[in-house]
Structure 1
């Protein structure tokens, strides 16, 4: 199942040439993953109260074309691997015409934030994520 989230490029997201600074794409993708969880009924602050947090373990990102100031972008997110304590997202950022601007595979680990050690995903969350594969 693909999740879609829209974001507009603000001036603060760009470099002096009006092009999105590459690190900001990672922020856009983080927002998209957070909104996906929210759409599934999971708030990250509530998860943290249950000693569940997520950390980025690995990122492989490719820049295909630039995004510019004031553009509306669509971020498509899809889980391509789901394990007991981690998941890998494939995310693409596209413009309104569907041109792929950025693609990334991002591995997320589930950790207990009190000790910063890996922990299994809660069974209900794992089930909800699995149903979308």
Structure 2
């Protein structure tokens, strides 16, 4: 079950299945992107914002930029914790710090800085974050002032 941590990060448990791995039982590098996408989506859902309603309003979210570092491989049957922590936002974008941890010892397997942009679904052009998403970010981004 997904939950919020005391530091504000959201954690989503994910099990590694055979479909996630190569012939040696090691998670394929692109699968981490899927895990992180799920964690960001579940973070939004856990805060009461429905993405389906945004689609009806011509709103979509796309990964604009990602910086990723792989430390240790995840393996078949590992139980993972995938975090999503909003760290900054602007008019049309939001930045997340994300980590993939092995659940049993919380070893860091992978981490990424991700920028997600809000776009118009029909044109793909940038658009202002909707008010409900702005409010969510205002309440969840830790300021360092």
Fold shared, TM-score > 0.5 on shorter chain: yes
Q: Residues 22-61 of structure 1: CA distance to partner in whole angstroms, max 9, x if unpaired? A: 0000000000001011111122221110111100101111
Question: TM-score normalised to the size of structure 1?
Answer: 0.97
1:3 and 1:84 map into 2 onto residues whose CA distance is: 23
What are the residue-to-residue correspondences of 1:2-41 with 2, within 5 Å?
A: 2-41=9-48
Tell me the number of residue pairs that the alignment of Structure 1 and Structure 2 aligns.
133
Tell me what 2:3 maps to.
none
**Unpaired segments of 5 or more residues in structure 1?**
none
Query: Which secondary structure does the structure 2 equivalent of 1:119 belong to?
Result: coil
Which stretch of structure 1 is more off in the superposition, 39-48 or 94-103? Answer: 39-48
Q: How much has 1:129 moved relative to structure 2?
A: 1.7
RMSD over equivalenced CA pairs, Å? 0.8
Q: Residues 6-33 of structure 1: CA distance to partner in whole angstroms, max 9, x if unpaired? A: 1000000000110000000000000000
Query: Which secondary structure does the structure 2 equivalent of 1:131 belong to?
Result: helix
Question: TM-score normalised to the size of structure 2?
Answer: 0.89
**Unpaired segments of 5 or more residues in structure 2?**
1-7
Highest relative contact order (Cα 8 Å, sep 6+), 1 or 2? 1
What are the residue-to-residue correspondences of 1:70-81 with 2, within 5 Å?
A: 70-81=77-88
